[in-house]
Amino acid sequence: MKHTVKLFVKYILSGISLGCTSFVIMCLSFYVGGGEEFLREVFEDFGRQSAGAMLVGIACGGTAVIYQFERFSVMVKTIIHFCVGMGVFYPVALSLGWIPFYPDRIGYTVLQFLASCCIFMVIWFGFYLFNRNEAKRINERLREMEREDKCL
């Protein structure tokens, strides 16, 4: 239990870090790209914008702890992670103006939601590939150590 709590706190802090880093990168890209209008809105409401970025980071990073449990299949874990992540991201993004909402253009809103889902999946897949490669590297190193022990 103690290990699980420590792991969960680690994931939450990593999520906050990822949320803040993404927020800064987004702001820098608008700064470089000439998005003064967007940046003005962000800085006028900086506290809420920052808190929103951290909340999304917590939702996406904190729920990643589910991959540590053997109880569920990878598909169920992914669905839970996706639903919690998008369930927090999309309302936060709409309420903070990260994604515009046009009630009279529901097709646009659906398209924005699908684009957000695709971005989430691309990010998830990147982390999946990274972790899979790390596991391969660690397993290879363990095999090497095992071979070295047999030679001695």
Per residue of the chain (152 residues), give pLDDT as tens. 788 788 889 999 999 999 999 999 989 998 898 888 888 888 899 999 999 999 999 998 888 888 888 898 988 998 999 999 999 998 999 899 888 888 888 888 888 889 988 988 898 899 889 989 999 999 999 998 888 888 76
Q: What is the pTM of this model?
A: 0.75
CA 116 from centre of chain: 12
- What is Dmax (Cα atoms) for the chain? 74
Tokens of 136: 């391969």
Quick check: 20 and 53 in contact, CB under 8 A? Answer: yes
CB neighbour list of residue 151: distance below 8 Å, 6 or more residues apart: none
Degrees to nearest 5, angle at CA 11 with 121 and 2: 140
